């Protein structure tokens, strides 16, 4: 997209934010989500090179098509330390599959960020398809004590909030929005994610604030954290959060856990059914998603997301298995989600597979596929069970072979 078109879209977005009724704005944004990414007709290509960590001298290469937070995080996880990055030009979005085919056997890994509207045809039978972002929502419990029964970590978080006497209030004042945006949200996002921080549009946040408010977390009468929320039907959506956290004091007091706890309390007070915990990276060991998982959230689609990621490789060696073990990810599996990972070391056995399932599976994930250099283990009794296994091994191979195996297993399990 050219600079001029970006400026025009920014003005149009501001007008949407300040002028249109919400139903009409939602309809226009829905069309924008699928059509606007197609205006970026050329995709930049980058070649990353660096140490993989498999041995002191082992190196690898990753071809990256497109830019964005998720694709950068995913690509960097292939390496030990910061890789060298070389811009190698750009290609048309519609000739990208040909460029990927040329590079798949040259690079250890290829990753592309493409519009969701074309990701399906581009990925079919060749590449794994990941959502660029995922959501999580929690059913509002009728009893506040139900939250503390979800997991050991949640019980500990709740006890920390109560022990430190954290309280909450809700504000709808415009000046509070300005303070939240400048003093809490921006510094917190930049401090947490650095150069990978994705900063939300101020005008869009202001519109969502008008449809909700800010829930403040207070300690000894002082605001130490907050979350901007939006009420959408029967759902309380947590849009952006932050904390006055220069020295980590707010986190130590349990401020971020208090946001989830008190948001559920506010939603219950307002008679709402769900709390939407917001956007996470599609990586199952990402701290944000793991924290939300501990609260019992259900993994969901992000309707605001406009792109998917395509992931492919030609040879599945130890470097790739190490990458998959360190980067368990959410993949699209038909109309649902599944997970993909690899064993930490050796050939997976029943105990290691059970541990992987306990660690990473969550509501909203169909099953976990574990790529193994030792080949797929027989799915003993799978055709005789009333329910298919939640953790399944697939043999290592080129990405198209892994995709075919996952699709085949998925079809077989549907017949059970």
Q: Return d(Cα 383, Cα 241) in angstroms, integer.
A: 46
The residue among 166, 269, 177 whose CA lies nearest residue 221 is: 166
Pairwise CA distance, residues 84 & 95, whole Å: 26
245 vs 405, residue with greater confidence? 405
The pTM (predicted TM-score) of the whole model is 0.84
What are 351's strand-pairing partners? none
Q: What is the pLDDT of residues 43-89, one digit of tens each?
A: 999 999 999 988 888 999 999 999 988 999 999 999 999 999 999 99
pLDDT tens for 337-384 read 999 999 877 778 888 899 999 999 999 999 999 998 877 776 544 444
Average pLDDT over residues 226-232: 94
Least reliable range by pLDDT among 94-98, 320-324, 376-380: 376-380
Q: How far is the C-alpha of 85 from the C-alpha of 62, rounded, in Å?
A: 10
Residue 192: CB atoms within 10 Å: 14
- Distance (Å, whole) CA 255 – CA 261: 10
Residue of 374 and 241 predicted with greater confidence: 241
Q: Give the lowest-confidence range in 173-187, 193-207, 286-300.
A: 193-207
* Residue 295 near residue 162, CB atoms below 8 Å: no
């Amino acid at each position: 997209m050219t600079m001029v078109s970006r400026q025009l879209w920014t003005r149009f977005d501001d007008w949407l934010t300040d002028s249109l009724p919400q139903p009409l704005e939602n309809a226009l944004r829905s069309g924008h989500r699928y059509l606007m990414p197609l205006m970026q007709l050329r995709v930049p290509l980058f070649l990353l090179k660096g140490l993989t960590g498999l041995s002191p001298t082992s190196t690898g290469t990753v071809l990256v098509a497109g830019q964005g937070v998720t694709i950068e995080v995913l690509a960097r996880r292939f390496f030990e330390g910061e890789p060298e990055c070389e811009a190698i030009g750009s290609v048309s979005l519609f000739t990208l599959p040909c460029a990927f085919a040329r590079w798949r056997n040259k690079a250890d890994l290829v990753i592309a960020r493409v519009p969701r509207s074309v990701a399906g045809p581009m990925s079919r039978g060749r590449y794994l398809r990941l959502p660029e972002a995922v959501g999580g929502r929690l059913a509002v419990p009728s009893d506040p004590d139900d939250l503390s029964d979800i997991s050991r970590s949640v019980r500990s978080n709740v006890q920390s909030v109560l022990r430190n006497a954290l309280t909450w209030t809700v504000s709808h004042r415009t000046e509070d929005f300005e303070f939240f945006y400048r003093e809490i949200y921006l510094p917190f996002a930049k401090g947490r994610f650095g150069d990978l921080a994705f900063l939300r549009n101020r005008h869009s946040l202001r519109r969502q604030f008008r449809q909700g408010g800010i829930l403040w977390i207070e300690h000894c009468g002082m605001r130490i954290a907050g979350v901007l929320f939006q009420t959408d039907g029967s759902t309380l959506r947590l849009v952006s959060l932050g904390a006055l956290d220069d020295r980590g004091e707010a986190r130590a007091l349990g401020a971020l856990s208090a946001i989830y706890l008190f948001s559920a309390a506010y939603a219950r007070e307002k008679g709402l059914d769900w709390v939407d915990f917001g956007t996470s990276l599609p990586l199952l060991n990402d701290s944000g998603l793991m924290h939300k998982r501990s609260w019992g959230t259900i993994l969901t689609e992000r309707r605001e997301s406009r792109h998917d990621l395509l992931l492919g490789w030609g040879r599945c060696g130890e470097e790739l298995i190490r990458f998959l073990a360190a980067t368990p990810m959410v993949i699209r599996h038909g109309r649902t989600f599944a997970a993909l990972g690899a064993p930490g070391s050796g050939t997976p056995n029943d105990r290691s597979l059970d541990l992987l399932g306990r660690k990473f599976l969550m509501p909203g994930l169909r099953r976990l596929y574990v790529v193994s250099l030792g080949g797929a283990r027989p799915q003993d009794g799978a055709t005789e069970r009333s329910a298919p296994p939640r953790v399944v091994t697939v043999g290592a191979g080129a990405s198209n072979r892994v995709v075919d195996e996952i699709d085949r297993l998925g079809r077989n399990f549907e017949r059970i």
